[in-house]
Amino acid sequence: MVTIETRPGDTGHQLVLAISAFAITSGAVILAPYVIGFIVEHAPSAALGYSPGFMFVGITVCVLGVIGSLMRNPEKAKARAEQLTAERAAREAR
């Protein structure tokens, strides 16, 4: 489960960027079995389809994984998590 908390002052751009980074990284994993199945199915034989299939899927997963990782900002996420923790502690202390 993925939870993204937003505040009234947050822009929609921040939410879209967080969801996009997650979707790109996850999309690589979701598409891999379909793509390799498609390549193997359309090859002259299964043995001739697996080699380019694994190569293509491996490259795709790497490229999309790097793109997803570049879209993340760990320093900002850490600061936001610390802020939310402090806000929650302040609410519970009341």
pLDDT in tens, 2-44: 455 556 665 555 555 566 666 666 666 777 788 888 888 999 9
Q: Is residue 4 part of a domain?
A: no
Q: Is residue 1 part of a domain?
A: no
Total residues belonging to the chain: 94
Q: Are 68 and 25 in contact (CB under 8 A)?
A: yes
Whose CA is closest to 34, among 1, 56, 65, 63?
56
pLDDT digit string (tens) for 42-78?
Answer: 999 988 889 888 888 788 778 877 877 777 777 887 8
Number of domains in the chain: 1
pTM: 0.45
CA distances in angstroms from 43 to 18, 33, 36, 61, listed in the order given: 38, 16, 11, 21
Its domain, for residue 30, covers 14-93
Q: Is residue 6 part of a domain?
A: no
Q: Would you tell me the crossing angle of helices 12-41 and 46-70 to the nearest 10 degrees?
A: 170
Q: Is residue 53 part of a domain?
A: yes
